[in-house]
A and B are shown apart, each in its own frame.
Chain A
Amino acid sequence: MNAIHKKRLIIVCVGVVAFAAAAGLVLFALNENINLFYSPTQVAEGEAPVNKRIRVGGMVATGSVQREPDSLKVLFVVTDYENNLTIHYDRVLPDLFREGQGIVATGKLDQNGQFRASEVLAKHDENYMPPEVSDMLEKRGVDATGTTAKP
């Protein structure tokens, strides 16, 4: 092995180590910051972790929105027409938030099985359903209003 080969070998080794370190860091950062999506049924069956940042979603149940009179605190129920999940929120709700609309919320599940949302998303399009929610309903075999789809 002559000097040039040795130099190249060192460069390649340093490159590989640097790349591995960078890739490791990126994957670590990625794993720390992914938010898994759970349906109300998965939450009810205890699949979702408590006190970890996750996302949940479903249709806002009709008549479920309750506001506290003196603050912004609001609670509402999302459903996949099999199980329900109560969501607490204390910020301004998005424009398209309303009963019967599909929403996705990011936040943490508390000890009592209720969801503390830090962000609620409803899309700016009447026809738009969050893909997570429409997939979830499709798996349950119901449409957006909860009616069982015809086979």
Chain B
Amino acid sequence: MIPEIGHYALILSFCFSVALGVLPMYGVYRNNGLLIWLAKPLVAAQFLFIAISFGFLTWCFAVDDFSVSYVASNSNRALPMIYKVTAVWGAHEGSLLLWALILAGWAFAVSCFSRNLPDDIRAMVLSIMGLISVGFTLFLLHSSNPFLRLLPNFPADGNDLNPLLQDFGLIVHPPMLYAGYVGFSVAFSFAIAALLSGRLDASWARWSRPWTNIAWVFLTLGITLGSWWAYYELGWGGWWFWDPVENASFLPWLVGTALLHSLAVTEKRGAFKSWTVLLAISAFSLSLLGTFLVRSGILTSVHAFAVDPERGLYILVFLGVVIGSSLTIYAVRAPTVKSHAVFEFFSRETVLLFNNIILMVATATVLLGTFYPLIYEATTGGKISVGPPYFNLIFAPLILLIMPVMAIVPQILWKRSPTKDLIKKNIIPLVCGAAIAVAFWYSGDQEVAGGFDLRIGLAIVFAAWLFVSIVKDLADKIGLFSDLSAVPQKIRLLTPGYYGMILAHAGIAVCVIGVAMVSTYSVDKDLRMAPGDQVQLGDYQFEFKGLKKTPGPNYTALTAVILVTDESGKQWLMNPEKRQYPVRRNQMTEADIDPGFFRDLYLALGEPLTNGAWSVRIQVKPFVRWLWLGGLLMAFGGFVATLDRRYRMKGRGV
């Protein structure tokens, strides 16, 4: 009965989505107050029933109902309860249900926190989100139903969850990422509603900004968590592979970042209006494209689920409908939008325009690199892959171009900015930056560095410059060097928007230092080690003591005991594991990581060799934590910026 109730709730939710997609929109068109009013209850009903559906699927997992095909293929009696619950989104059907749930959740959030929106705009936004919901719930019901039964002969035990996914990272990574992907549907719906109503003004930008910010925060967290998960779980110590599916999450992030900045110009200065709308459409379209990439399996990737051409085709058609119809609306309505703002070359507008150009170039190159294998195969029939060097080659100069801009942006004013102060104000930060970079250079282990790399050197100089200039700007603004008694008051006067900006930009600096250090100074060695063998790597000595058997809940593990000695003679043990999961006959490398603020030690067991020896991979990775720390800072900055009080005030067009 339980799965059938879940299925039934899903169908009901679908019906409410259809009603939501049609009725309020028609109400706005006919100016019918009742139909416009209906938007809110319909959103609530849609959300309620999809939540019930999701709850019942979770229940099926919790009670081991293996008569449900999806549960049977992705769970097992021996699986710990926490993983039974998270296994709900461990494969295609469930993760799609999570997508639809989060989409309905965002719509519900918009309906709750939109008291400052005019009723008709709110109805249109919710209606558009309802239409997107229709697409996804129909997809679930049509070709990805998670409630299908295996009757009458169902298995006594399930096929277990993919061991890679039995991990804390998977509990949080997909929901965060999806919240980000789906969150851009709000910005998208606002943009389409603004185009349809013709009210594309500063208040529209002010309504969109907090929602775009929050979606961006989730996406940033999702990507950061994904990178962290890949680092410790895949057993190779890599943190970014330029894998098609990673790129698929990075593309909406790049466009979303451009959107955040472009929205700022539209709100404050009324410029870039139609460009902002186009970005909002692109950000959501790229999120859909990402979903399509993961689901269809057309690109080789570590993330690919089982390939099903029918599903791929459905998403492709859906993508075509969404992009096609939104671009048509854009083409018809955008020419009526005029931006009247004027600004001079040295102004904040120009700087943000530059930011947008760089981010668009980055988006275009990642998009090209990701889809080039498909284009190549279609035109020549040959199979290729695009290697990470391509992406690195393009990204290094782009980062180097954008960092100085971030360093000077707090000192540049809207509309017109005097140039003579700019150089004077930046001499100190730039000199400090160079000094810090030299210090970094000497702190690194030069034997393993493999020579000086100009790009890496510049990256560290610029990151340090950015950081110092942020700190200096903050100190200037709160008057730390002039009137100390006024400091507390000045701290309060600065807006959350400003604090958010400097936090997020500092996050970029931290992240860039992490990338530069870990890709220059990492030491990485694959070795054959028998019990008693010792090896020196960087400042550390590793001794292979032996192996022991460790039982787990649904696996058995061989645990290596490795004694690590550092320069000062401090000793500790590390225990990388090799796990055997009997149900799927899978083998998993469970790396042991000794984390640190300035370096990680990363040990992974390879395979058994002759005479009790094992292949072992040992890595010393300096500053690798800074990557994710930077990501967290960016996300926190985005969150702080959302707290700005003006987003909560009643909007009246400017």
A34, closest chain B residue (CB): B384
For residue B476, CB closer than 8 A to chain A, the reply is: no
Task: Mark contacts of B364-389 with chain A using CB atoms, 8 A cut-off: 1 yes-contact digit, 0 otherwise.
Answer: 11001100100010000011111101
Task: Mark contacts of A117-141 with chain B using CB atoms, 8 A cut-off: 1 yes-contact digit, 0 otherwise.
Answer: 0000001111110111001000000
Task: Mark contacts of A78-90 with chain B using CB atoms, 8 A cut-off: 1 yes-contact digit, 0 otherwise.
Answer: 0000000000001
Measured between beta carbons, the chain A residues less than 8 angstroms from B394 are 26, 29
For residue B526, CB closer than 8 A to chain A, the reply is: yes
Measured between beta carbons, the chain B residues less than 8 angstroms from A90 are 526
For residue A35, CB closer than 8 A to chain B, the reply is: yes
Contact A72 B384 (CB under 8 A): no
User: A60 to chain B: closest CB distance in Å?
Assistant: 14
Asked, given contacts A30-B372, A36-B384, A124-B162, whether A92 binds B604 with beta carbons under 8 Å apart, the answer is: yes
Could you tell me the distance between the alpha carbons of A33 and B384 in the complex, rounded to whole angstroms?
10
Docked complex: A87-101 residues within 8 A CB-CB of B: 90-93, 95-96
Contact B389 A126 (CB under 8 A): no
Measured between beta carbons, the chain A residues less than 8 angstroms from B383 are 36-37, 55, 132, 135
Asked, given contacts A35-B387, A124-B302, A126-B584, whether A26 binds B528 with beta carbons under 8 Å apart, the answer is: no
Which of B364, B384, B526 has a CB less than 8 Å from the CB of A91? B526
User: B560 to chain A: closest CB distance in Å?
Assistant: 13
Asked, given contacts A33-B389, A34-B376, A128-B304, whether A95 binds B384 with beta carbons under 8 Å apart, the answer is: no
For residue A9, CB closer than 8 A to chain B, the reply is: no
Could you tell me the distance between the alpha carbons of A55 and B527 in the complex, rounded to whole angstroms?
25
Could you tell me the distance between the alpha carbons of A132 and B604 in the complex, rounded to whole angstroms?
29
Could you tell me the distance between the alpha carbons of A95 and B587 in the complex, rounded to whole angstroms?
6
User: B309 to chain A: closest CB distance in Å?
Assistant: 13
User: B598 to chain A: closest CB distance in Å?
Assistant: 26
For residue B174, CB closer than 8 A to chain A, the reply is: no
Contact A34 B610 (CB under 8 A): no
Sample of 15 A–B contacts (CB below 8 Å)? A29-B390, A30-B372, A34-B387, A35-B385, A36-B382, A36-B383, A37-B385, A69-B610, A69-B611, A92-B606, A92-B617, A126-B585, A128-B304, A131-B297, A132-B383
Per CB-CB distance, the 3 closest pairs between chain A and chain B, nearest first, are A92-B606, A33-B390, A37-B383
Chain A residues near B (Cβ < 8 Å): 22, 26, 29-30, 32-37, 53, 55, 67, 69-72, 90-93, 95-96, 104, 106, 123-128, 130-132, 135
Given pairs A29-B393, A33-B387, 17 additional interface contacts (CB within 8 A): A22-B361, A26-B368, A33-B393, A34-B390, A35-B384, A35-B385, A37-B384, A37-B385, A69-B610, A92-B604, A92-B617, A95-B589, A96-B587, A123-B302, A128-B306, A131-B300, A132-B300
